[in-house]
Structure 1
Amino acid sequence: MTATAHPNPREDLIVCPKCDAAYALVRPGPGERAVCHRCHTVLITPRRKAGMQIIALSVAILVLIVAAAIFPFLSISVGGAKNTVSVLDAALAFSDGPMIVLSLTTAALIIFIPLTRVLLSLYVLVPIVLDKPPARNAAQAFRFAEALRPWSMAEIFAIGCAVALVKISDLADVGFGPAFWLFVCLVVLFVVQDNFLCRWSVWYALGKPAKS
């Protein structure tokens, strides 16, 4: 469904985060969507039991991120010499000297920022799904998690590595370790979680008065 524009200021308004168009708030039913008529940004996407599904996905992502950072990501064999490396090893390979800033930034973008977003999501969503008052500073935590979203690049890292490794496969024998396939699973779960999350619903739940 498409949200209906309203010309006069009202309390029950929703504003498009992309183009700032204001609409009279009409809540769609489960499975429906409220979409900005101007830029077609999805404004509200309610789903049945979405909260528990997002929590389950967040826990799965949390486990996968930790495992993907520890297990071997790839192995390279050249002239009888073979070496395996994990994601953390690769990210911190240049941690000595002037490249330390680049190494720490890489590690943050592919591991620590996605991990922080998942932990913040659990902190915000678990009390809401359990029908309890929001956690302390939950609104700020959710706002921070959303601000980190463009900088969470675990999936970009996995895709970029796959392309790069295909190109060097003629120079060496390259094998994908378990961490690579864990990152592939992370790509899928990140997309599913992002599609399941209705940000308006979260903000609405955080703004509701606590039950006595």
Structure 2
Amino acid sequence: MSVNIQPRDDLIVCPHCDAAYTLARPSNGQRAVCHRCHTVLIMPRHKAGLQIIALSIAIVILITAAAVFPFLSISAGGAHNSVSVIDSALAFSDGPLVVLALATAALIIFIPLARVLLSLYVLVPIVMDKPPARKAAFAFRLAEALRPWSMAEIFAIGCAVALVKIHALADVSLGPAFWLFTMLVLLVVVQDNFLCRWSVWNALSNPKKR
């Protein structure tokens, strides 16, 4: 015997501790927070969609530029060398370490870029008051699944540690990609904090009619 279970639109469940609450939609600027683990459940903002789209476009530009321009320039013993983010990610692309090189490039460049493009694919129709794009729910679910694997900030921290260690051995100058990458990390953090995931899922579950 099968039981047909219908979703409850009057409930919301915390994604971290599974606590269930009666849904109360806060006004713009207010937050609904889990009483048990203090996770923010709903955080609507006025014109947040347009702000997130603008941030996403800026992130795409920064990722592209940071991957191409020189990241660091090192001078030691009369030798001089400049490397980009792609060069550093693929430094071990020979032999069996090619898998590690590709994984590094994916974690710091391609996965963050994929997440931003997926977010744009989902958010642009919603913000323009149009029906969601085809497979938008799957695209947003994939973007959220990739979030733990987007490690641009880890790469930035690792570079900072490496700079401290090699500064006494060589002359190191920061290239334009270093500052672009720093801005990129900050914008990714701001974008994640601006995004109200409940609002996105609600818009996808209750699409506007043409």
**TM-score normalised by the chain length of structure 2:** 0.95
Identity, % of aligned pairs? 79
CA deviation after TM superposition for structure 1 residue 97, in Å: 0.3
1:122 alignment counterpart: 120
Equivalent residue runs for 1:169-208 within 5 Å: 169-208=167-206
Would you identify which runs of 4 or more consecutive aligned residues in structure 1 move more than 3 Å?
A: none
How far the C-alpha of 1:90 sits from its partner, in A, is 1.0
Cα contact 2:70–2:177 (8 A) shared by 1:
yes
AA aligned opposite 2:124:
V
Query: Partners of 1:82 and 1:10 in 2: how far apart?
Result: 63
In structure 1, the gaps of 5 or more residues are 1-8
What's 1:21 paired with? 19
Corresponding pairs, count: 204
Please list the CA deviations of residues 59-82 of structure 1 after superposition, one character each: whole Å capped at 9, or x if unmatched. 000000000000000011001110
1:128-143 to structure 2, matched below 5 A, reads: 128-143=126-141
CA RMSD of aligned residues (A): 1.1
- Is contact 1:123-1:135 (8 Å) kept? yes
Distance in 2 between residues matched to 1:93 and 1:171, nearest whole Å: 20
Q: Distance in 1 between matches of 2:11 and 2:187?
A: 32
- Pairing 1:73–2:71 present: yes
Paired residue for 2:35, among 37, 53, 56? Answer: 37
Corresponding residue number in structure 2 for 1:96: 94
The two structures have a TM-score, normalised by structure 1, of 0.94
Q: Distance in 1 between matches of 2:70 and 2:14?
A: 43
Q: Classify 1:133/1:10 alpha carbon distance in 2 versus 1 (closer, same or farther; 3 Å).
A: closer
C-alpha distance in structure 1 between counterparts of 2:177 and 2:97, whole Å: 24
What is aligned with 1:49?
Answer: 47
Distance 1:89 1:10, change over 3 A: closer
How far apart are 1:107 and its partner, in Å?
0.2
Specify every segment of 5 or more residues in structure 2 that has no aligned partner in the other structure, as ranges: 1-6
8 A Cα contact 1:10 1:24, kept in partner? no
Counterpart code for 1:121: S
